[in-house]
A and B are shown apart, each in its own frame.
Chain A
Amino acid sequence: GAVVSQHPSRVICKSGTSVKIECRSLDFQATTMFWYRQFPKQSLMLMATSNEGSKATYEQGVEKDKFLINHASLTLSTLTVTSAHPEDSSFYICSANGGLGGNTIYFGEGSWLTVV
Chain B
Amino acid sequence: GIQVEQSPPDLILQEGANSTLRCNFSDSVNNLQWFHQNPWGQLINLFYIPSGTKQNGRLSATTVATERYSLLYISSSQTTDSGVYFCAVDHRGSTLGRLYFGRGTQLTVWP
Query: A1 to B27, alpha carbons, bound, how many Å?
Result: 30
Binds A, one of B62-70, B75-83, B90-98: B90-98
Interface pick from A15-23, A62-70, A90-98: A90-98
Contact of B99 among A34, A38, A42 (CB under 8 A): A34
Q: Is A32 an interface residue (CB 8 A)?
A: yes
DSSP majority for the A interface?
Answer: strand
A96 to B50, CA, bound (A): 18
Total interface residues on A, CB under 8 Å, equals: 25
A112 is an interface residue with CB less than 8 A from chain B = yes
CB–CB A107/B43 < 8 A: yes
Residues of B within 8 Å of A49, CB to CB, are 95, 98
Q: Does B33 contact A (CB under 8 A)?
A: yes
Chain B residues lying within 8 Å of A45, measured Cβ to Cβ, are 101
Binary A-proximity of B33-52 (CB < 8 A = 1, otherwise 0): 10100001111010010100
In the complex, whether A104 has a CB less than 8 A from a CB of chain B is: yes
B60 at interface, CB cutoff 8 A: no
**Chain B residues near A38 (CB, 8 Å)?**
41
Q: A103 at the A/B interface (Cβ < 8 Å)?
A: yes
Cβ-neighbour of B97 out of A34, A93, A112 (below 8 A): A34
Interface bits A93-116 vs B (CB < 8 Å: 1, else 0): 101110000011111011010000
